[in-house]
Structure 1
Amino acid sequence: MNSYRRLTVLGIGVLVAGSAVVATSASAAPATGSAVSGRQTTQAVNGPVRESDLTTGQDVVRQTTSAVKLQSTGGVQTTVLSTSLPAGSWVLSSNASLVSWGPSDYTRCTLFVNETVVGGAATMVGAPSPNGEQTGVYVATVSAHGAFTSGATTTVSLRCSHDHTRAASETAYVDPSATLWAHRS
């Protein structure tokens, strides 16, 4: 029960901090494809500015701006996002929308600290499969969370893969706006 409460508090913190990131981005000067504070930004018509990289004293947020195609070979991980973090205690959170128009396949996204797995999630995406897997959905969002403490600078990454080897045209991909968020705790 205590773990459930911690996860609930973490979830609420993610929601509140996520809202703060949106509020911060929305208050930035509107500019299409221009640099704001050294970061590339994009602007939707009458919408908030989205920053693909955001670093504050307590948070490091990375977000993709384009789709990331997964490897066609099953079980081979593709790095979707990666960043370096200074020594300390960190809580990690990630979201990725997986898309596949090919045959159903289990698709997995994993959080790594250097080469150590600290969190992950899986779903099935795609159409009916000749390999007998159940029909998945064409788009599914997965979230993974983890935490770690390190005495040195560390590389954290979000990597995704799928189980079966597919033709390049049938391979799943990660939609733009996949997010990796590290919060110093």
Structure 2
Amino acid sequence: MKMSSRLAMGLGAGVLVAGGVLTGATASAGTAGTASTAGGSVVDAPNLANGQDVVRQSTSAVQLSTAGGAHTTVISESVPAGSWVLSANATLVSWGPSDYTRCMLYTGNTNIGGASTVVGNPGPGSAGTGTFVTTVSVHGAFTSTSPATISLRCGHDQDRAAGAAPYVDPQATLWAHRSEGLGQAKR
């Protein structure tokens, strides 16, 4: 396979490229097979035209609540009915005392995935050894018979003074990939 064919297949899979987004429908309009372009022909990957990706990024920092246990919505999006695989990344920052910080994926008010880390200054009043900046990745999946609102929400465990609560850096990402169906892998 030529380099240009592999590149086209990678782009068709909905890969984030240099801050931009290409979806399967964008890169492979039509059915699987060979498509003509101005630069020659490329080989489309099968079923990419049937997929649908929704990718959203935050454009500014999101300050988390000072209340321990409260979760702040970082990104949300509405998706149509169907089966969806979700992935999110968020960079957490805290200059205050370290705290367990948790980011979760939701469909409506149902938690479908989460990840935790300790972020902040490991000095006095901290929850333990931490780092000032860390990135978490969260994954989940769900099926819905009606449109759903998906969201990435983050929070921390301990009450913190104003200015001492963690925040989420800009460019947190929420990626929803529409699937033909969800089920157990066959062995």
Above 0.5 in TM-score?
yes
Is 1:95 aligned to 2:79, yes or no? no
- On the 8 A contact 1:105/1:129 being kept in 2, the answer is no
Could you say if the C-alpha distance between residues 15 and 131 of structure 1 is closer, same or farther in structure 2, counting changes exceeding 3 Å? farther
1:22 aligned partner: 17
Give me the TM-score of the superposition, normalised by structure 1: 0.71
Query: How many Å separate the matches in 1 of 2:160 and 2:98?
Result: 10
- On the 8 A contact 2:97/2:126 being kept in 1, the answer is no
- Following TM superposition, by how much is the alpha carbon of 1:67 offset from its aligned partner in structure 2, in angstroms? 0.4
- More helix by percentage: 1
- Deviation sequence 1:38-59 (CA, Å, 0-9, x none): xxxxxxxxxxxxxxxxxx9610
1:157 aligned partner: 151
Rg larger in structure: 2
Ranges in structure 2 where 5+ consecutive residues have no aligned partner:
1-9, 23-49, 180-187
Give me the TM-score of the superposition, normalised by structure 2: 0.70
- Following TM superposition, by how much is the alpha carbon of 1:131 offset from its aligned partner in structure 2, in angstroms? 4.0
Query: How many Å separate the matches in 1 of 2:174 and 2:13?
Result: 13
Query: How many Å separate the matches in 1 of 2:150 and 2:172?
Result: 15
Is 1:82 aligned to 2:76, yes or no? yes
RMSD across aligned positions (CA)? 2.4
Query: How many Å separate the matches in 1 of 2:12 and 2:171?
Result: 19
- On the 8 A contact 1:71/1:77 being kept in 2, the answer is yes
Ranges in structure 1 where 5+ consecutive residues have no aligned partner:
1-13, 28-55
Query: How many Å separate the matches in 1 of 2:178 and 2:125?
Result: 43
Instruction: State percent identity of aligned pairs.
Output: 63
Report runs of 4+ in structure 1 exceeding 3 Å deviation: 14-18, 129-132
Query: How many Å separate the matches in 2 of 1:23 and 1:114?
Result: 31
Q: 1:63 aligns with which of 42, 49, 57?
A: 57
